[in-house]
């Protein structure tokens, strides 16, 4: 009985630790609401750590081009993320006209993108840390990359 | 009785120490932001606001090595400065009193360049209903940093950004016409005020 209890405690501990690890980079929140026609409402909240893991699971061939294209911009992306991490919350870009509203903001360690037009309302928030990890994962797809190795 | 006196003395000393620390501790440098605001008179045209921390711009700029921009410096091609000794001109301007430097009056355009309060101020007024009113105000320290490179065909944008960071709140550029209003300015507010 004691042994079963220890095993159960170990499993619970491992589950809690795993869940904690999975959630350590925050959550990606995607919320899409369509206004016209009977609306399909898509709302996904997923651990941000899954993004780099998912990138690593995609066959290299599929991501090779994207990885190649992102390589020259890696230092710039990393510098931007680093700078934004230390900056206060702010609206980075806001575009509005009579038909559409787009906002990109940094709110509490996350990049939040809101798009609203007559047809859809889209809200995406991604933790900066997850962006960093995902970019690193994407960069590491290309073999022999110095930039990727430095991450 | 003695212990109470010690407590009061210690508390007074602590309050004084905190007060002095608060008075003498160097203030953390405030974040500075580059704002770009484009407003269009036509409702369909739309408005654009960009707010970028200068620190981010300063970090990003040296990492971009494309075209004429390398390590925060822009190489001017075809001898665009045509042998003009910009550092010498800037040095002369810095030491001169506030004054109008250039005035051009034309049928369709007036241009004024002056020095005012440590800034180079350029006003361009185009005649006609569609004409633009352009105002450019750049601190001389920024212009100085811009032309601080050893090579005469280069301008140092990264150094200029650094100088902007140290300059006070200022409107850099405003462009106004009947259909559009563009403002570029620097201040310490993360959102346009």
Domain range annotation of chain B: 30-187
CA distances from B75 to A126, B22, B155 (A): 37, 46, 7
| Pairwise CB contact (< 8 Å): B44 & A99 | yes
Q: State residue B123's pLDDT score.
A: 93
Which chain B positions have a beta carbon within 8 Å of A99's beta carbon? Answer: 44
User: Does the pLDDT of residue B23 top 80, yes or no?
Assistant: no
By residue range, what is the domain housing residue A39? Answer: 26-150
Residue B5, both tokens: 């006196």
| Pairwise CB contact (< 8 Å): A88 & B48 | no
Q: State residue B13's pLDDT score.
A: 55
Mean pLDDT of A70-74: 87
A7 in a domain, yes or no? no
A2 in a domain, yes or no? no
| Pairwise CB contact (< 8 Å): B31 & A83 | no
Domain count, chain A: 1
Residue of B nearest to A77 (CA): B60
Closest to A83 (Cβ–Cβ): which among B44, B49, B60? Answer: B60
User: Does the pLDDT of residue B122 top 90, yes or no?
Assistant: yes
Which chain B positions have a beta carbon within 8 Å of A150's beta carbon? Answer: none
A144 in a domain, yes or no? yes
A50-57 vs A128-139: helix crossing angle, rounded to 10: 20
* φ, ψ (nearest 5 deg) of residue B65: -125, 80
Closest to B47 (Cβ–Cβ): which among A76, A88, A96? Answer: A96
Which chain B positions have a beta carbon within 8 Å of A86's beta carbon? Answer: 55
A25-39, B20-34, B132-146: the lowest-pLDDT one: B20-34
User: Does the pLDDT of residue B191 top 70, yes or no?
Assistant: yes
Helix (H) or strand (E) holding B157: helix B157-166
| Pairwise CB contact (< 8 Å): B50 & A88 | no
Report yes or no: B117 and B97 within 8 Å, Cβ to Cβ. Answer: no
Size of interface A-B (CB pairs under 8 A): 69
Residue B97, both tokens: 């009193």
Q: State residue B169's pLDDT score.
A: 84
User: Does the pLDDT of residue A112 top 50, yes or no?
Assistant: yes
Mean pLDDT of B49-69: 90
Nearest-neighbour CA in chain A from B61: distance (Å): 8
Q: What ipTM, to 2 d.p.?
A: 0.73
A3 in a domain, yes or no? no
User: Does the pLDDT of residue A102 top 90, yes or no?
Assistant: yes
A19 in a domain, yes or no? no
Which chain B positions have a beta carbon within 8 Å of A96's beta carbon? Answer: 46-47
User: Does the pLDDT of residue B29 top 70, yes or no?
Assistant: no
Residue of A nearest to B47 (CA): A96
């Amino acid at each position: 009985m004691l042994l079963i209890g220890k095993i159960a405690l170990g499993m619970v501990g491992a589950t809690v630790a795993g869940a904690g690890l999975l959630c350590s980079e925050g959550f990606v929140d995607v919320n899409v609401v369509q206004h016209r026609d009977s609306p399909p409402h898509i709302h996904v909240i997923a651990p941000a750590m899954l993004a780099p893991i998912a990138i690593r699971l995609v066959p290299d061939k599929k991501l090779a081009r994207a990885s190649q294209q992102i390589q020259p911009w890696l230092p710039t992306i990393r510098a931007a993320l680093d700078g934004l991490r230390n900056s206060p919350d702010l609206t980075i870009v806001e575009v509005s006209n009579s038909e559409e509203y787009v906002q990109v903001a940094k709110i509490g360690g996350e990049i939040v993108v809101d798009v609203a037009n007559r047809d859809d309302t889209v809200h995406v928030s991604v933790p900066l840390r997850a962006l960093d990890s995902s970019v690193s994962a994407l960069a590491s797809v290309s073999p022999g990359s110095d930039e990727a190795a430095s991450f | 009785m003695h212990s109470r006196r010690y407590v009061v003395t210690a508390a007074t000393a602590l309050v004084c120490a905190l007060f002095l620390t608060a008075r003498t501790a160097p203030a953390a440098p405030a974040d500075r932001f580059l704002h770009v605001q484009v407003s269009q008179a036509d409702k369909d045209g739309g408005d654009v606001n960009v707010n970028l921390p200068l620190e981010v711009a300063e970090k990003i700029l040296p990492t971009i090595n494309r075209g004429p921009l390398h390590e925060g410096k822009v190489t001017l091609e075809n001898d665009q400065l045509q042998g003009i000794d910009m550092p010498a001109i800037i040095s002369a301007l810095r030491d001169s009193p506030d004054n109008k430097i250039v005035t051009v009056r034309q049928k369709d355009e007036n241009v004024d360049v002056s020095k005012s309060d440590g800034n180079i101020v350029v006003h361009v007024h185009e005649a006609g209903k569609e004409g633009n009113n352009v105002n450019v105000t750049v601190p001389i320290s920024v212009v100085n940093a811009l032309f601080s490179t050893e090579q005469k065909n280069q301008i140092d944008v990264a150094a200029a950004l650094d100088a902007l960071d140290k300059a006070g709140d200022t409107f850099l550029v405003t462009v106004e016409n009947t259909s559009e209003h563009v403002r570029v300015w620097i201040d310490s507010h993360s959102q346009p005020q």
